[in-house]
Chains A and B, each alone.
Chain A
Amino acid sequence: MIYYDKVTKIYPDKSVGLDGVSFGVEPKEFVTIVGHSGAGKTTLMKMLIAEDWPTEGAVYLESTNIHKLNKRQMSKVRRRIGTVFQDYRLLQNKTVYENIAFAMEATGRTDSEIAADVPHVLELVNLGHKIWNFPKELSGGERQRVAIARAIVTQPDIVIADEPTGNLDPTNTYEIIRILQKINELGATVLLTTHNKGVVDTIGGRVITMEKGKVVRDDKAGKYIL
């Protein structure tokens, strides 16, 4: 379903972000990507939603080259992908409810669907009591949970989560992982990046290890080995 084909990213100052990365992800797979800071995990995620583009190589989604799409087609692709950004990227001028509703509005859901799903997903991430707060009134962990809720509310085909548990306490961390696993069971393909050993070991699925822009390990039933 997703295929990275010798993807390389070299920045203007000649530093290397990605170096000939190639791997494929099957539908309904749960892939964890680990690596030190700067290994290229986030860059990899950015490629998939065309926030960044490769210097060489290509990224394919169901045999379509992502970076050859025009803006309108790319918008449509992005609606199929739920993204949890490492820096949350919530809309500051909107309440928690509106942030999540926005993701649904962007995918064309009706008002009744929104009214039903948004409170439900907020309960899932334990934020039912903060529905009408603005992001600046939330803690880091709460903002992270809003970002996660926004990514999953539209029940997308693909979920990419960039360090989704970085700011969460252990209880919340495992709850989020459980949610992601549940979504995966329901049919979504999940790509997760983390450098939390416990998370990796809990999930126990496929683990891709990255270092300095290269894929150094790709284990079907991987453990956290860095």
Chain B
Amino acid sequence: MIFTNFRRITRTGFVNFWRNGFLSFAAIVVLTLSLLALGSIIFAGAFGKALISDVKDKVDINVYFALTAPESDILSVQRDLNRLPEVASTTYLSREQVLNNFKLKWQDNTLIMQGLEEIGNNPFPATINVKAKDPGQYGSIAEYLQDKNPGMSDGTPIIEKVNYEQNKLVIDRLSKIIPAIESAGMIIAIIMIIVAMIVVFNTIRLIVYTSKDEISVMKLVGASNIYVRGPLIVSGVMYGIVSGAVTLVIMAAFSYWSDAVILRFAGISVAADFELVVNVLSKYFMQNFGQIFIIIMGTGIVLGGISSYIAARRYLRV
């Protein structure tokens, strides 16, 4: 009997979903918009993270050593740097490597290649490139290098130049902006979701309200609460499923479209530079599809079902 009841309730909910026609359509539109708000928050989060990590990557400190600095001393400075907790990684480029990289980069530019030949010997210093775990920590790393500048055998300091100062402006700004953006984003997200939930709830409540008389008749004829509420909840869940599906399709389309737009907007060279950012949405969507599916569908079903349940309770007091 329980199974029969369940079957009847589901079938009635399904039939009502179709027969309510325009009302169902309105509920689905509202629910889809809410889920799209949730979806765009997910996308914004993914995009923001990619952008921030890309920029963090770009920001670094280059330490230029005196031309006569012995390699063993340079490597010992690198070891000391690696021991610092703020340092994420260091890359050592010997003078020869810097020269080769330069030649490779500019091999098509005859003017520059000629100039290099005229100089004769290798003008480039050995370099250590330092990346910190957090842009805000470059300051302390630079200070450390300033203090601990070991001397060479002839007394001159081994480190010729630290080009932190040029990047400092960018680094400083970033350290301030990024946390601010993250908090603002969170607050906006929460407000949007609350507003969306209220709109969905009221839309479904309106739909149930239009069935108020029918609900009272059903009760007067002796139907139990489950028989009256059940189909409404089933319809609510169906709104959630349909809206969830539509939202996922829109999100998929958007993620692929956004790749093309970003590429065109930023230009090829910038895109190559910021490689992480270009494919980020479609890659993110594909890789995390399972999670996104559960979040969007789950939210849709829960919103639709619970709104129906609460709305139905109000009108069941016959």
Give residues in A with beta carbon < 8 Å to B.
49, 51, 71-72, 75-81, 83, 85, 89-93, 102-103, 105-108, 110-111, 150
Contact = CB atoms under 8 A, between A and B. Distances in A.
Contacts of B218: 91, 102, 106
A80 B214 CA distance: 20
Given A91-B214, A93-B19, A150-B221, 16 more contacts: A49-B220, A75-B222, A75-B223, A75-B225, A81-B222, A85-B220, A89-B217, A90-B217, A92-B214, A105-B227, A106-B218, A106-B222, A106-B223, A106-B224, A106-B227, A107-B222
A209 B170 CA distance: 95
A72 B224 contact: yes
Contacts of A150: 221
Nearest to A156: B222
B8 interface: yes
A78 B220 contact: yes
Interface string B1-12: 100100010000
B90 interface: no
Contact of A93 (B1, B214, B224): B214
Contacts of B214: 91-93
Nearest to A76: B222
A103 B8 CA distance: 13
Interface of B: 1, 4, 8, 16, 19-20, 211, 213-214, 217-225, 227, 318
Contacts, number: 55
A111 B227 contact: no
Nearest to A108: B1
Contacts of A83: 220-221
Contacts of A78: 219-222
A169 B4 CA distance: 40
Contacts of A92: 214
Contacts of A85: 220
Contacts of A102: 218, 221, 223
B221 A103 contact: yes
A122 to B, nearest CB: 17
A52 B127 CA distance: 91
Contacts of B16: 93
A76 B225 CA distance: 12
A112 B73 CA distance: 94
B206 to A, nearest CB: 16
A89 B220 contact: yes
A110 B4 contact: yes
B214 to A, nearest CB: 5
Nearest to A150: B221
A77 B213 CA distance: 20
Contacts of A81: 222
